[in-house]
Structure 1
Amino acid sequence: MDNPYNMSSVLVLNRFDLPPETIFPAFLFATLSYMIILFCNLILILTIVLNKSLHQPMYLILLNLPINDLIGSTALFSQVIKEILTSSRTMQYSACVAQAFFIHIYAGGAVFILSAMAYDRYIAICCPLKYNTVMTHAHIMKIISCVWISSLVLIAVLFFLLLRLPRCRSELTHPYCDNPTLLSLVCADTTINNITGLLGVALTQVIANGMILYTYLQILVACFRSRRSDTKAKALQTCATHLIVFLLLECLGLFTIISYRLKNVSPHLRKFMGVSTLIFPPTLNPIIYGLKTKEIRDKVVHFVRNKIFHAS
C-alpha cells in the first residue's frame, strides 16, 4: 500500500477471450491474413525495385506505401498470432511499447505517403511540362525523407511524454497496444499527453486533408479543361484510386481515435474498427495499385510468371 505504482515489466492480457474450439480457426485466419498481406506487398515492392522502367517519381513514392503497410501489419500480427498460438495471458511492457510505436509509425506514415502521392499527381497532371524539372531524383529523396522524419518525430515526442509517467495498472483489453491503451495504464495526470496527441492528429489531418483537397480540386479543374478524353479518363481514374485508399484509411483511423473518447461505443465495435485499420488498407493497397496501374500490373504478371512459376 505504501507504493501505489505498479512498474512491473509484465502486462496482463484480456483482449482475446477465445473458447478452445475457436483457437485453431482464429489462428488460421490470422496467419492467412498476414500471409496474404506479406505476399501482396512484397510482390509490389520487388516489382518496383527490380524493374528499372518503374524507377520513376510516382513509383518511388508509391514504394513507401507497401513498406509502411508491412510495418503496421507485422507489428499487429506477430503479437496476435503468438497470443493465439500459445494462449498467452501476459505480455512484456517493452514489447507492448514497441508494438504501439510501430503501429503509430504506420498510421502517420500512411497519411504522409498518400499526401506525397497526391502532390506527385498534381505536378504530373496540372504542370506536365514542368514535371521532369520539378520531380528530380533529389527532390523525390527530400519528399520521402520528409515523410519518414515527420512521422518519426511526431511519434517519438508522443512516446517520450508517455514513458516518463508511472503506471499503476497492468490489464490490456484492446486488440493491440497503442498510445491510448498505454495511457490507460498510467496513474498520473495525462493532460499534456492528451493535448499533444490531439495536436499531432490535428496537425497531420490539416496537412494531409488540406493538401489532398487542394491538389485534387486542381486536378479536377485541369481534367475538365482538357480536351483529350483519354487523358481526362486516366487522370480521373488515378485520382479516384488514391481517394478510395485515403478515405478508407481516414474513416477507419478517425473512428478508432474518436471511439476512445466516447464511452458509449461498443467495445467489440472499437476492437473491430481498430484491427480493420491494420488489416484492410495493407491488404487492399497492393491489390488496388497493382490492378489499377497498367505499368505495375504488367510488371507484376511478368515477375510472377518468370521469377516464381518458372523457378518452381
Structure 2
Amino acid sequence: MENYTFNSPTLQLEALNVSEASVYPVFLLFLFAYLFLMVANMSIAVLILIDKNLHQPMYLLFCNLPLNDILGNSILMPRLLLDMMKPSSELFISYYECVVQAFTTHMFGTTSLTVLMIMAFDRYVAISNPLRYAAIMTNKMLMKLIASAWGVALVLVGVLLGLTIRLNRCRTLIESPYCDNASLFKLSCESVFINNVYGLTFTVVLFTCSIGSMVITYTKITVVCLTSKSKSLNSKALKTCSTHLVVFLIMMFSALSNITLHRFPQFTDYRKLSRILFHIVPGSLNPIIYGVQSKEIKIFLTKFLESKKVLPLS
C-alpha cells in the first residue's frame, strides 16, 4: 500500500523479481560483471593516458567512453548490489539520492551517444581527408568536441531533471530497482504534460541526431572507399569504422530495448532487467571491442606483459 504523503524525503524502490534460490547466483553474476566493467574500463583509460603512442584523436575521444562507463556505473551498481541482499520491505532511498541516481543514469546514456557522434566525425575526417587530418583534429578541436559532447548532455539532462524536481510528490513508490526521470515524475499528482513532451522530444532529437549522423558519416565514408583504389585506406576504414559501428549498435540496441519495454507494463520484470543490462552490457563490451581491434593497444599490452615476466632464479 502506497503512503500518500506529500514530498516525502524517503522513497521506496521495487525489488527485482528474483526467486530466493536465485538471489545469490544473480548477485554474483552482477558483482562479477560490475568488477570486470570497472577494471577493464579503468585499465583502458589509464593505458590511453600513459602511452604516448595512444595520444591520438581517435583514442583520446574513445577515452571518454570508459570514463563515462565508470561514472555511470559507480553510482548505480554498488547500491543495486546492496539492495539485492535486502528484503523488499527495506528498499528505501532518499529523494536526493534518487535524483542524483536519475541524473547519473541519463547522463550515462546521453553522453554515450554524443561521444559516439563526435567519434564518427573523427573517423570521417581521418578517411576522407587523411592529408589534412592533423591540421583539422588539433588539440583545440579535440577539446571543443569533448566539451560539446559532455556539455550538450549536461544541458539536456539538466533540463529534463529540472522539470521533474519542480513537481510536488504525493506518492513514494519508485516502480524500478533504481531511479530515473520517468519513475520520479510519476510520483507527482500534478500535470506532467510538459515532462512527457520534453522527455519525448529529448529522446526523438537525441536518437535522430545519433542515427542521422551515423548514416550520413558512414555513407560518405563508403563513397570515399568505393571511389578510392587504395587498399590500405579501405583496410583502415574497415578496421576502425567497424569497431566504432559495433559499439554504436550495441548502445542503440540496449537503449531501444529499454525504451520499448517501458511501453509494455506486462513485461515489468524484463524491463527491470533490461534497465540494469543497459548499464552493464555496453560498458563491459566497449573495452573488449577496442582492445581486440586496436593494434596499438595490443602492442602495449604485449610489451607490458613481457616486462612483468618473472626471471628464472639463478
TM-score scaled by structure 2?
0.91
1:111-139 Cα deviation digits (max 9, x unpaired): 00001110000000011111011100001
Could you tell me how far apart the structure 1 residues matched to 2:238 and 2:181 are?
37
User: Is residue 203 from structure 1 mapped to residue 241 from structure 2 by the alignment?
Assistant: no
Could you tell me how far apart the structure 2 residues matched to 1:106 and 1:12 are?
23
Could you tell me how far apart the structure 1 residues matched to 2:134 and 2:192 are?
48
- Number of residue equivalences: 307
CA change 1:160–1:303 in 2 (3 A) is farther
The letter for the 2-side match of 1:213 is V
User: Is residue 49 from structure 1 mapped to residue 49 from structure 2 by the alignment?
Assistant: yes
Contact (CA 8 Å) 1:5, 1:187: kept in 2 or not? no
Matched position secondary structure for 1:15: coil
* CA deviation after TM superposition for structure 1 residue 272, in Å: 2.3
* CA deviation after TM superposition for structure 1 residue 78, in Å: 1.6
* CA deviation after TM superposition for structure 1 residue 289, in Å: 0.5
CA change 1:171–1:155 in 2 (3 A) is same
Greater Cα offset, 301-310 or 24-33: 301-310
Partner of 2:300: 299
Partner of 1:267: 268
The letter for the 1-side match of 2:97 is A
Partner of 2:285: 284
TM-score scaled by structure 1?
0.92
Partner of 2:116: 114
For residue 247 of structure 1, the aligned residue among 249, 271, 277 is 249
1:237-274 Cα deviation digits (max 9, x unpaired): 222221111112112212322333344x5112212222
1:151-208 Cα deviation digits (max 9, x unpaired): 0000000111000001111112313211111122121110101111111112212222
Could you tell me how far apart the structure 1 residues matched to 2:195 and 2:310 are?
51
Contact (CA 8 Å) 1:220, 1:236: kept in 2 or not? no
* CA deviation after TM superposition for structure 1 residue 18, in Å: 4.2
User: Is residue 28 from structure 1 mapped to residue 28 from structure 2 by the alignment?
Assistant: yes
Contact (CA 8 Å) 1:13, 1:173: kept in 2 or not? yes
CA change 1:231–1:243 in 2 (3 A) is same
What is the RMSD of the two structures over their aligned residues, measured on CA atoms? 2.0
Partner of 1:91: 93
Partner of 1:146: 148
Contact (CA 8 Å) 2:10, 2:92: kept in 1 or not? yes
Note the residue ranges of structure 1 that are not aligned, 5 or more in a row. none
Percentage identity across aligned positions?
A: 36
Note the residue ranges of structure 2 that are not aligned, 5 or more in a row. none
Contact (CA 8 Å) 1:44, 1:286: kept in 2 or not? yes
Contact (CA 8 Å) 2:4, 2:171: kept in 1 or not? no
Partner of 2:37: 37
User: Is residue 81 from structure 1 mapped to residue 81 from structure 2 by the alignment?
Assistant: yes
Matched position secondary structure for 2:241: helix
Matched position secondary structure for 1:168: coil
For residue 173 of structure 1, the aligned residue among 175, 190, 193 is 175
CA change 1:301–1:74 in 2 (3 A) is farther
